[in-house]
Chains A and B, each alone.
Chain A
Amino acid sequence: MNPSLPPVDPLRLDVRNLSTFFDTDEGLIRSVADVSFSIRAGRTTALVGESGSGKSVTSLTLMRLLSRTASTQVSGQALFTDRAGSTVDLLDLKALPEPAMRRIRGNEIAMIFQEPMTSLNPVFTVGEQIAESVRLHLGLDRAAALAHARRMLELVEIPAAAQRLHEYPHQLSGGMRQRVMIALAMACNPTLLIADEPTTALDVTIQAQILELMRRLQRETGMSILFITHNLGVVAHHADEVAVMYAGRIVESAPVRCLFASPRHPYTQGLLACLPAQQRKRELAAGAMAGVDGKRRLYAIRGQVSSPLAPPPGCAFEPRCDQARPACRDAMPALLSAGPARAARCILVAENLFDATDSA
């Protein structure tokens, strides 16, 4: 359960107990289980986790982009407040049938994906693909839509936009294509942008540019961003709130500064400890000299994520946790409040014990 937030900005998206299960031949896969988080208007919430933690499935579930087969079971609520101020549950198939959801997709809620190289249709020009969205949602005619598309390309700082409009995706570099994807997403002035690992496939220098671009657009338009990533460095600089996922569940959520300053969940602590920069800090704090003393190892969380088909009986992280107790194996801990506007799913939180390795 999400602890109640102080009334700062209105909630753009309020996800409550979202679950996505896949019924496969090999068994039931609980890809996303009991996930709750929220995004405030004009703010960025980051969803952090390693591959397989369920973060991409979460975003696809919200957009209802999962393949609609009988073996997919979705439950929970995703309350979305649109431009006009009315709230609707994205997962309610009766109140929000597919045609209505389609009016939201690409319009109120836009999504950009990880692979810019393959996310654009190779047989249509860049301009046509943006214009298509505009014509669909804003009802403009062909000429007006293309003009709008050109403005979008300029908005994302693509040089020679008028020319690029008539070019094909293969004529653009990876960074450019991602900008086009952003332009496509922004074309109808969305209130929520879901960015699923938008910079992972790009060069480091381009990454910074794209992230800056997104930040600027957020400032100018006031849209919210759901930022999905496994890169904590990015999270530190670009997110307001963070939710950490492990094995399909939220294990910790907090405002960004608090999370980095004092992580409560052992997994989060482990993730932060893995950052080389953090290690240097720890060593300096412990008084060791960098590079002189020889044996220095990069910290890694031991073990591996368990198979989704055979989850451990209690806490999912327990097999890899250095602070595990026998009680951890009994039952999955509940997500409990760990401070103002924060929560963590750990027995230590329940017992109000915080680990001594808190780094300042």
Chain B
Amino acid sequence: MTRYLLSRLMGMLVVMALVAVIVFLLTRAASGDPITVLLGDQATAEDIVRVQKQYGLDKPLTVQFAYWLKELSQGNLGDSIFLQRPVTQALWERAEPTTLLALMAVLIAALIGVPCGIVSAVFRGRLIDQLLTGFAMLGASIPSFWFGLVLMQIFAVSLGWFPVSGYGDPGATLIERIHYLILPSVVLGVLNSALIIRFTRASMLDVLGEDYVRTARAKGLSESVVVLKHALRNALVPIVTVLGLTVALMIGGAVVTETVFGLPGVGNLVVSAVLRRDYPVIQGALLVIAMIYVVINFLTDLLYLLVDPRVKY
């Protein structure tokens, strides 16, 4: 098992390195002149020289990359041009709404998706399966901005049940914050439940076709015990994996919903950084978001190891 762990760890590190290279190249390609990037247009001659020395900008690209990595290892992602503070701080400030949104959305997606997927699998081919699969496909076809605008119109503007946009006042409590997040997380949750339904259905169908399910039935167990105890337990691990990865993807992937509902989240930050050409922020945000995904991917692999008794011994 340790060998398996080590090879996965190596794989993760390689991917992380590649991600760093990609982000570095992307930002360089976008910004062109790194000095202007770092200092903006009002750079003095001394600033230029200082920055040149500090980041080795007179040296070849690979050396610059090394310098950047050195900075990274010290936790320095650079400073935002527009926000006048370190990128890390800017990201940290934005972390809460995005993380909360991601968690709430995945919770909703799971609460809808998993039971529907199970029902779909158990009653395969029947009307309920076709309806649920159709719903899943529909969910994957709806643009999130459209769904967000429509729900906002109905529930926030017309009915007034929820705030239209924003994240609340600076001193707001967690409960109040969550109130602001309900509508956006419903939007994300319902749309993502489509994926969860299809995946749960596939996973359950796989398991329901296994021999040990037939054995369980042959023992005289009731169908609900067979499905919920014997089958689900085996089908759950891949499902939980997908849920974990969905959380990771939503950090940054929820940019559209954040924009529609005016949430001060990470995705929103990246969009405004792009529009304002705030390259340190773009670079830092992309890096962090991708790294989170890679790490969560690795952790879900670990989950498999822990949960599957076969690999334990």
Task: State if A and B touch, Cβ cutoff 8 Å.
Answer: yes
Identify the A interface with B (CB < 8 A).
63, 65, 69, 99, 102-107, 110-111, 113, 115, 118-124, 132-133, 136-137, 168, 170-171, 181, 184
Partner of B214, one of A106, A119, A124, A132: A119
Complex-state Cα separation, A119 to B212, whole angstroms = 4
Using A121-B234, A122-B309 as known contacts, say yes or no to A63 and B218 having CB atoms under 8 A apart. yes
Which parts of B213-230 form the interface with A (CB within 8 Å)? Answer: 214-222, 230
Can you name 14 A-B pairs with beta carbons within 8 Å? A65-B218, A69-B125, A105-B218, A106-B221, A113-B211, A118-B211, A119-B212, A121-B216, A122-B309, A132-B219, A133-B219, A168-B309, A168-B310, A170-B313
Cβ-defined contact, A121 with B219, below 8 A: no
| A260 CB, nearest partner CB in chain B, Å | 31
| B69 CB, nearest partner CB in chain A, Å | 43
Cβ-defined contact, A136 with B234, below 8 A: no
Residues of B within 8 A of A121 (CB): 212, 215-216, 230, 233-234
Cβ-defined contact, B310 with A103, below 8 A: no
Residues of A within 8 A of B211 (CB): 113, 115, 118-119
Residues of A within 8 A of B220 (CB): 102-107, 133, 136-137
Query: Is the C-beta of B58 less than 8 angstroms from some C-beta in chain A?
Result: no
Residues of A within 8 A of B210 (CB): 118
Cβ-defined contact, A170 with B219, below 8 A: no
Partner of B217, one of A69, A99, A105: A105
For residue B217, which residue of chain A has the nearest CB? A65
Which parts of B293-313 form the interface with A (CB within 8 Å)? Answer: 308-310, 313
| A153 CB, nearest partner CB in chain B, Å | 16
Q: Count CB-based A-B contacts (< 8 Å).
A: 70
Residues of B within 8 A of A106 (CB): 218-221
Given contacts A102-B222, A115-B211, A119-B211, 19 further A-B contacts (CB under 8 A): A63-B218, A65-B218, A102-B220, A102-B221, A104-B220, A106-B220, A113-B211, A118-B211, A119-B214, A120-B212, A122-B234, A122-B308, A122-B309, A123-B233, A132-B221, A136-B219, A136-B220, A168-B310, A170-B309
Residues of B within 8 A of A103 (CB): 220
Interface of B is mostly: helix
Residues of A within 8 A of B309 (CB): 122-123, 168, 170
Which parts of B199-219 form the interface with A (CB within 8 Å)? Answer: 210-212, 214-219
| B228 CB, nearest partner CB in chain A, Å | 13
For residue A187, which residue of chain B has the nearest CB? B219
| B120 CB, nearest partner CB in chain A, Å | 15
Residues of A within 8 A of B313 (CB): 168, 170-171
Partner of A113, one of B215, B230, B308: B215
Residues of B within 8 A of A124 (CB): 230
For residue A68, which residue of chain B has the nearest CB? B223
For residue A181, which residue of chain B has the nearest CB? B215
| A149 CB, nearest partner CB in chain B, Å | 13
Using A168-B310, A170-B309 as known contacts, say yes or no to A119 and B219 having CB atoms under 8 A apart. no
For residue B236, which residue of chain A has the nearest CB? A123
Which parts of B169-219 form the interface with A (CB within 8 Å)? Answer: 210-212, 214-219
| B299 CB, nearest partner CB in chain A, Å | 21
Complex-state Cα separation, A106 to B215, whole angstroms = 9
For residue A105, which residue of chain B has the nearest CB? B220
Residues of B within 8 A of A111 (CB): 218
Complex-state Cα separation, A122 to B207, whole angstroms = 11
Cβ-defined contact, A170 with B310, below 8 A: yes
Complex-state Cα separation, A69 to B124, whole angstroms = 9
Residues of B within 8 A of A119 (CB): 211-212, 214-215
Indicate the member of B220, B234, B309 with the most A CB atoms within 10 Å.
Answer: B220
For residue B310, which residue of chain A has the nearest CB? A170
| B295 CB, nearest partner CB in chain A, Å | 27
| A127 CB, nearest partner CB in chain B, Å | 14
Complex-state Cα separation, A103 to B220, whole angstroms = 6
Using A69-B125, A113-B211, A171-B313 as known contacts, say yes or no to A184 and B217 having CB atoms under 8 A apart. no
| A105 CB, nearest partner CB in chain B, Å | 4
For residue B219, which residue of chain A has the nearest CB? A106
| B276 CB, nearest partner CB in chain A, Å | 52
Complex-state Cα separation, A105 to B216, whole angstroms = 10
Residues of A within 8 A of B219 (CB): 105-106, 132-133, 136, 184
For residue A60, which residue of chain B has the nearest CB? B214
Complex-state Cα separation, A159 to B224, whole angstroms = 34
For residue A122, which residue of chain B has the nearest CB? B310
Residues of A within 8 A of B218 (CB): 63, 65, 105-106, 110-111, 113
Complex-state Cα separation, A113 to B216, whole angstroms = 12
